[in-house]
Structure 1
Amino acid sequence: MSDQSATDAEHLPPDLDRVQRALVEWYEADHREYPWRQTEDPYEILVSEVMSQQTQLDRVVSAWRDFLEQWPTVDDLAAADRGDVVGFWTRHSLGYNNRAKYLHEAARQIVEEYDGEWPRDPEGLSELMGVGPYTANAVASFAFDNGDAVVDTNVKRVLYRAFDVPDDDSAFETVAGRLMPEGESRVWNNAIMELGGVACEKTPACDGAQCPWREWCHAYQTGDFTAPDVPTQPEFEGSRRQMRGRVVNVLDEYDELALDDLGPRVRVDYAPEGESGREWLRDLVTDLADDGLVSVDDANGETTVALDR
Structure 2
Amino acid sequence: MSDDAEGDPLDDVDVAAVRAALVEWYESDHRDFPWRRTTDPYAILVSEVMSQQTQLGRVVPAWEDFLDEWPTVEDLAGADRADVVRFWSDHSLGYNNRAKYLHEAARQVIEEFGGDFPDSPEELEELMGVGPYTANAVASFAFDNGDAVVDTNVKRVLYRAFDVSDDDSEFERAARGLMPDGESRVWNNAVMELGGVACGKTPRCDEAGCPWRRWCHAYETGDFTAPDVPTQPSFEGSRRQFRGRVVRVLGEYDDLSLDELGPRVRVDYGPNSREWLRGLVDDLAADGLVEVTEEGDDTVARLRQ
TM range (shorter): 0.7 to 0.9
Q: CA deviation at 1:229?
A: 2.0
- The answer on whether the counterparts of 1:85 and 1:101 sit within 8 Å (CA) in structure 2 is yes
Report the counterpart of residue 40 of structure 1 in structure 2: 39
Which letter maps to 2:28? A
Q: CA deviation at 1:14?
A: 3.2
Question: For the residues of structure 2 that align with 1:142 and 1:177, how far apart are their CA atoms?
Answer: 16
Question: For the residues of structure 2 that align with 1:140 and 1:122, how far apart are their CA atoms?
Answer: 6
Residues 1:220 and 2:216 aligned together? no
Which letter maps to 1:218? H
Report the counterpart of residue 84 of structure 1 in structure 2: 83
- The answer on whether the counterparts of 1:77 and 1:104 sit within 8 Å (CA) in structure 2 is yes
TM superposition outliers: structure 1 runs of 4+ over 2 Å: 6-14
Which letter maps to 2:22? L
- The answer on whether the counterparts of 1:8 and 1:178 sit within 8 Å (CA) in structure 2 is no
- The answer on whether the counterparts of 1:43 and 1:74 sit within 8 Å (CA) in structure 2 is yes
Aligned CA RMSD, in angstroms, stands at 1.4
DSSP-derived class of the 1:205 partner: coil
Q: CA deviation at 1:58?
A: 1.6
Report the counterpart of residue 236 of structure 1 in structure 2: none
Q: CA deviation at 1:56?
A: 1.1
Question: For the residues of structure 2 that align with 1:45 and 1:109, how far apart are their CA atoms?
Answer: 16
Q: CA deviation at 1:95?
A: 1.1
- The answer on whether the counterparts of 1:89 and 1:97 sit within 8 Å (CA) in structure 2 is yes
Which letter maps to 1:91? D
Question: For the residues of structure 1 that align with 2:167 and 2:26, how far apart are their CA atoms?
Answer: 27
Do the aligned partners of residues 7 and 151 (structure 1) sit closer, same or farther apart at CA in structure 2, a change above 3 Å counting?
Answer: farther
Report the counterpart of residue 262 of structure 1 in structure 2: none
Question: For the residues of structure 1 that align with 2:212 and 2:48, how far apart are their CA atoms?
Answer: 27
Question: For the residues of structure 2 that align with 1:10 and 1:75, how far apart are their CA atoms?
Answer: 46
TM (norm. structure 1) is: 0.71
DSSP-derived class of the 1:128 partner: coil
Question: Where do 5+ consecutive residues of structure 1 fail to align?
Answer: 1-5, 232-309
- The answer on whether the counterparts of 2:13 and 2:215 sit within 8 Å (CA) in structure 1 is no
Do the aligned partners of residues 221 and 34 (structure 1) sit closer, same or farther apart at CA in structure 2, a change above 3 Å counting?
Answer: same
Which letter maps to 2:195? G
Do the aligned partners of residues 18 and 8 (structure 1) sit closer, same or farther apart at CA in structure 2, a change above 3 Å counting?
Answer: farther
Which structure 2 residues correspond to residues 136-151 of structure 1 after superposition, within 5 A? 136-151=135-150
Residues 1:135 and 2:140 aligned together? no
Which letter maps to 1:128? L
Residues 1:158 and 2:157 aligned together? yes
Question: For the residues of structure 2 that align with 1:37 and 1:71, how far apart are their CA atoms?
Answer: 19
Cα deviation per residue 1:8-52 (whole Å; 9 max; x = unaligned)? Answer: 743454311000000000000000000000000000000000000
Do the aligned partners of residues 80 and 86 (structure 1) sit closer, same or farther apart at CA in structure 2, a change above 3 Å counting?
Answer: same
Question: For the residues of structure 2 that align with 1:32 and 1:13, how far apart are their CA atoms?
Answer: 31
Which letter maps to 1:17? A
- The answer on whether the counterparts of 1:161 and 1:219 sit within 8 Å (CA) in structure 2 is yes
Report the counterpart of residue 68 of structure 1 in structure 2: 67
Report the counterpart of residue 52 of structure 1 in structure 2: 51
Which letter maps to 1:147? G
Higher relative contact order, structure no. (Cα contacts within 8 Å, ≥ 6 residues apart): 2
Question: For the residues of structure 2 that align with 1:8 and 1:92, how far apart are their CA atoms?
Answer: 48
Which letter maps to 2:201? K
Report the counterpart of residue 188 of structure 1 in structure 2: 187
- The answer on whether the counterparts of 2:152 and 2:229 sit within 8 Å (CA) in structure 1 is no
Question: Where do 5+ consecutive residues of structure 2 fail to align?
Answer: 231-305
Report the counterpart of residue 209 of structure 2 in structure 1: 210
TM (norm. structure 2) is: 0.72
Question: For the residues of structure 1 that align with 2:124 and 2:35, how far apart are their CA atoms?
Answer: 18
Which letter maps to 2:39? E
Question: For the residues of structure 2 that align with 1:118 and 1:103, how far apart are their CA atoms?
Answer: 13
Which letter maps to 2:228? D
Cα deviation per residue 1:176-205 (whole Å; 9 max; x = unaligned)? Answer: 000000000000000000000000000000
Report the counterpart of residue 124 of structure 1 in structure 2: 123
Report the counterpart of residue 197 of structure 2 in structure 1: 198
Which letter maps to 2:85? V
Which structure 2 residues correspond to residues 273-284 of structure 1 after superposition, within 5 A? none
- The answer on whether the counterparts of 2:147 and 2:184 sit within 8 Å (CA) in structure 1 is yes
Identity of aligned residues (%): 76
